[in-house]
A and B are shown apart, each in its own frame.
Chain A
Amino acid sequence: AQKITQTQPGMFVQEKEAVTLDCTYDTSDPSYGLFWYKQPSSGEMIFLIYQGSYDQQNATEGRYSLNFQKARKSANLVISASQLGDSAMYFCALRGSSASKIIFGSGTRLSIRP
């Protein structure tokens, strides 16, 4: 069975500060993938970053990086130098290898203070 957990319902961060959004997962599959998506108030789903379980290095995409700790089963998203436009819901997702289904966490609402 697959499980993905986001324990922070909401966060407030000062503009220009770095922020870490937590995500833990559980799967018995030998290989898997982890995603982060952003959902602004407009409702669209915006892809941020992907990490494969066999990737040796943490994924990075511009201001986004994924702190992948395989032994701890965590895949935290780090946003450096936060901006007002980063205010949104953020979702972590897990794709297993046995069934290829992709499930999402409950999300974290990030609010950036000016």
Chain B
Amino acid sequence: NAGVTQTPKFRVLKTGQSMTLLCAQDMNHEYMYWYRQDPGMGLRLIHYSVGEGTTAKGEVPDGYNVSRLKKQNFLLGLESAAPSQTSVYFCASSVRTTENEKLFFGSGTQLSVL
């Protein structure tokens, strides 16, 4: 089982360039999330999705867009990258039952914007 896969793992951009981060999960999870983690800090929620075709804003959505055209994929786009978007980006998906819940994380994408 691959779980949650993020591509790419590393990327360097110049200010103003655009890029898309791909998150894929093979667990048939409804919920998916994008977070960013700056050095020495916690995870901040960028956008999330509660099902195929849905997206919603998190805590820090400005400068990012997302799409969930297929249930297994959640894409994070940066239209015009800025140095402030230098961070580690984590994707996660979650399963929820009446008794338990768990977030499954990808391994992260290190993004540097010069």
Known: A45-B90, A101-B58. A106 touches B48 (CB 8 A): no
Cα A93 to Cα B103 with chains together (Å) = 10
Known: A33-B101, A99-B56. A43 touches B108 (CB 8 A): yes
**The stretch of B37-45, B62-70, B77-85 that contacts the partner chain:** B37-45
Nearest CB in chain B: distance from A18 CB, A: 24
Check B88 for interface membership: any CB of A closer than 8 A. yes
Q: Which of B20-56 contact A (CB under 8 A)?
A: 31, 33, 35, 41-45, 48, 50, 56
Produce 1/0 per residue, A33-71, CB < 8 A to B.
101010000011101001010000000000000000000
Check B73 for interface membership: any CB of A closer than 8 A. no
Cα A47 to Cα B102 with chains together (Å) = 7
Q: Report which of A37, A101, A107 forms a contact with B56, defined as CB distance below 8 A.
A: A101
Task: Determine whether the beta carbon of A35 is less than 8 Å from that of B45.
Answer: no
Instruction: Report the interface size class on chain A.
Output: 20 to 34
Task: Determine whether the beta carbon of A43 is less than 8 Å from that of B88.
Answer: yes
- Please indicate the chain A residues that have their CB under 8 angstroms from the CB of B92 in the complex: 45, 102
Cα A46 to Cα B90 with chains together (Å) = 13
Task: Determine whether the beta carbon of B88 is less than 8 Å from that of A102.
Answer: no
The chain A residue sitting closest to B105, CB to CB, is A45
Task: Determine whether the beta carbon of B48 is less than 8 Å from that of A101.
Answer: yes
Task: Determine whether the beta carbon of B101 is less than 8 Å from that of A52.
Answer: yes
Check B94 for interface membership: any CB of A closer than 8 A. yes
The chain A residue sitting closest to B88, CB to CB, is A43
Task: Determine whether the beta carbon of A44 is less than 8 Å from that of B33.
Answer: no
- Please indicate the chain A residues that have their CB under 8 angstroms from the CB of B42 in the complex: 6, 91, 104-107
Cα A47 to Cα B100 with chains together (Å) = 12
- Please indicate the chain A residues that have their CB under 8 angstroms from the CB of B103 in the complex: 35, 37, 45, 47, 93, 102
Enumerate 6 A-B pairs (CB-CB under 8 Å) in ascending A order.
A6-B42, A44-B108, A93-B103, A100-B31, A103-B59, A104-B35
Give me the interface of A with B, judged by CB distance under 8 Å. 6, 33, 35, 37, 43-45, 47, 50, 52, 91, 93, 95, 99-107
Q: Which 3 A-B pairs have the closest CB atoms?
A: A45-B105, A104-B43, A106-B42
